[in-house]
């Protein structure tokens, strides 16, 4: 296994650079990320297809990771309910060290080979579910052990990593390996590697939710109405779909609680 994520930056003496030089250097490296993600699309397709099939049959999606990778999994999981109106236990993000580690690094959490399965058991993970390991290095012990145990119990496994051929990929039925190259700041995988993982997570969860019918046309018809902006957005959707005025659309939306339910109820009443 070649640890590309740990290779030395091609930029030298960055501590002597001007602000403009630093920003341009980071930007030049960031431009490489979408290209690396594009190369991994066949792998992402296989993982998204498998996860969607499991979830359509009643399964859930779990992410596990440490540090930046774990935080990105928590972010993606937490955004699915408001965006797609799914239950909060449909997509679950677990980070080594627990919720404390979201804000503050927890010493040695990523090296604990027993804790991942303990954390997963709190959610009664089972063979219907899918587990995706997130780790830029592809070697994090917490993630490796979690995937290993899950796989032995018939749980579908996948990963999003930024090195090829590591132990996490070996424990994954559907590995996604996005090799973005050395970081601008040597070894700082919160940069290009983190960006790559975020892009893949966006692609994965959005694709899965579309396949599960949580989107109509190109609209988030099941989004939760948690603020004035989203109520206004939902009202506009109802207006466009039913060809009615704003006030009527808003009344329907607030009565039924979602764009989908408002539109379906209105059409059902019209057909009576």
Residue 91: which residues within 8 A CB-CB, separation 6 or more? Answer: 60, 61, 62, 63, 76, 77, 80, 81, 205
Residue 266: which residues within 8 A CB-CB, separation 6 or more? Answer: 238, 242, 252
Residues acting as catalytic residues: 79, 110
**CB distance 91 to 117 below 8 Å:** no
Nearest to 242 by CA among 259, 220, 217, 230: 259
Q: Encode 215-235: b = buried (16+ Cβ within 10 Å), e = exposed.
A: beeebbbbbbbeeeeeeebbb
């Amino acid at each position: 296994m070649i640890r590309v994520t740990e290779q030395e930056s091609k930029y030298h003496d960055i501590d002597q650079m001007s602000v403009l030089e630093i920003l341009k250097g980071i930007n030049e490296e960031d431009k490489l990320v979408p290209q690396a993600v594009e190369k991994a699309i066949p792998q992402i397709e296989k993982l998204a297809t498998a996860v969607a099939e499991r979830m359509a049959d009643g399964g859930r999606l779990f992410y596990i990771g440490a540090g930046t990778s774990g935080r990105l999994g928590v972010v993606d999981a937490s955004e699915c309910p408001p965006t797609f109106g799914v239950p909060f236990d449909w997509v679950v993000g677990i980070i080594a060290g627990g919720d404390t580690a979201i804000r503050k690094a927890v010493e040695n959490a990523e090296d604990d080979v027993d804790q991942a399965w303990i954390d997963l058991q709190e959610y009664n993970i089972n063979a219907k579910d899918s587990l995706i390991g997130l780790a830029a290095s592809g070697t994090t012990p917490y993630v490796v052990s979690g995937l290993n145990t899950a796989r032995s119990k018939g749980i579908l496994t996948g990963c999003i990593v930024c090195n090829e051929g590591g132990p996490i990929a070996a424990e994954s039925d559907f590995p996604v390996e996005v090799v973005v190259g050395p970081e601008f700041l040597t070894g700082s995988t919160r940069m290009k590697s983190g960006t790559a993982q975020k892009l893949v997570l966006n692609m994965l969860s959005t694709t899965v939710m579309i396949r599960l019918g949580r989107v109509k046309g190109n609209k988030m018809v099941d989004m939760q109405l948690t603020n004035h902006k989203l109520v206004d957005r939902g009202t506009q959707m109802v207006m466009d779909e039913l060809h009615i005025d704003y006030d009527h659309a808003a009344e329907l939306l607030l009565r039924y609680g979602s764009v989908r339910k408002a539109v379906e109820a209105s059409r059902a009443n019209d057909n009576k």
